[in-house]
Structure 1
């Protein structure tokens, strides 16, 4: 994969991180994860994600990222990137082509320069888990929101299931 393709791929992952991380999706029953069957029948829109827990201990300019694998994995690649002005200074792909056993744990450090106000560190894990190619994206907030970031840029409505939905503008009006 050339550098431009990697940059585009990482950018797309970073842009999709808020969507992937804010989902109320339930894991699929065959994914090896526990599901809450009391919510079954409420229009399950479950997305199958990689069975890996992603955690980060954040400092001012460094994060210690820990991955815990719930099932064996091969061909694991981890990409780290920033959103809202956060710039990753360390390697953008700290793990590439690695294999892990169930209950395997790996830890690595990510050096970054935070953006103004609140920015986000994005960690994307992809690989083959029990014969299926899966991915998981996690986003970690760094800093406190600036006054500009605290301004609301959309309207909130309540869906038929009682969940709050924020309607965001799609672009500038001509």
Structure 2
């Protein structure tokens, strides 16, 4: 086997690693297009492409009103709703399918859900074709207050370069 092939493969995997990382959804200024940027300790900046849509939610009890602000034309738009930490969506989990927007538009969706114990999360995923490119935007909204069990910390909390808290969790031997 060629000795260069493993080196090239390792380099490609290193380049793809930042794409696989996730971070909390952040709003971008209206004129900034479709990239969320994050800084790294070494000063390098990577861009994550996401759909040019702002996602907001007003949560009250077991209902939420989702507001979607499309910043430009979009086609074949689909919105999927799901839950994390025990939250179950009880209304239509795909309230938009194949929608088309010719110009910047704001639309709202009413969502019914059954919250989980303590704090759970409502996840909104918007996907479609935006200016000819298939893109997706994911946003998460917390529901409820953390239970006593959820408040117990298992790891150390540190602050990242961007000022956001990061929880360092211990690894388990069973994962190896």
Counterpart for residue 22 of structure 1? 24
Q: What CA deviation, in whole Å up to 9, does each residue of 1:14-44 have, x standing for no partner?
A: xxxxx745267x97xx9626989xx9x9211
Q: Which runs of 5+ in 2 are unaligned?
A: 1-20
Counterpart for residue 104 of structure 1? 105
Cα RMSD between the aligned structures? 3.0
Shift of 1:151: 1.1
2:35 touches 2:48 (CA, 8 Å); kept in 1? Answer: no
For these two proteins, the number of residue pairs brought into alignment is 149
| Alignment partners' CA distance in 1, 2:144 and 2:159 | 29
1:31 touches 1:48 (CA, 8 Å); kept in 2? Answer: no
Q: Which runs of 5+ in 1 are unaligned?
A: 1-18
Structure of higher CA gyration radius: 2
Counterpart for residue 52 of structure 2? 51
| Alignment partners' CA distance in 1, 2:132 and 2:24 | 27
Q: What CA deviation, in whole Å up to 9, does each residue of 1:45-97 have, x standing for no partner?
A: 21011000001111101101110001110000000001101110001100000
Distance change >3 Å, CA 101–CA 172, structure 1 → 2 = farther
1:21 touches 1:138 (CA, 8 Å); kept in 2? Answer: no
Matched, 1:66 2:99: no
Counterpart for residue 10 of structure 2? none
Shift of 1:158: 5.0
TM-score by length of 1: 0.74
| Alignment partners' CA distance in 1, 2:35 and 2:82 | 30
* Structure with more of its chain in strand, by fraction: 2
TM-score by length of 2: 0.73
Counterpart for residue 16 of structure 1? none
Shift of 1:171: 4.0
1:157 touches 1:166 (CA, 8 Å); kept in 2? Answer: yes
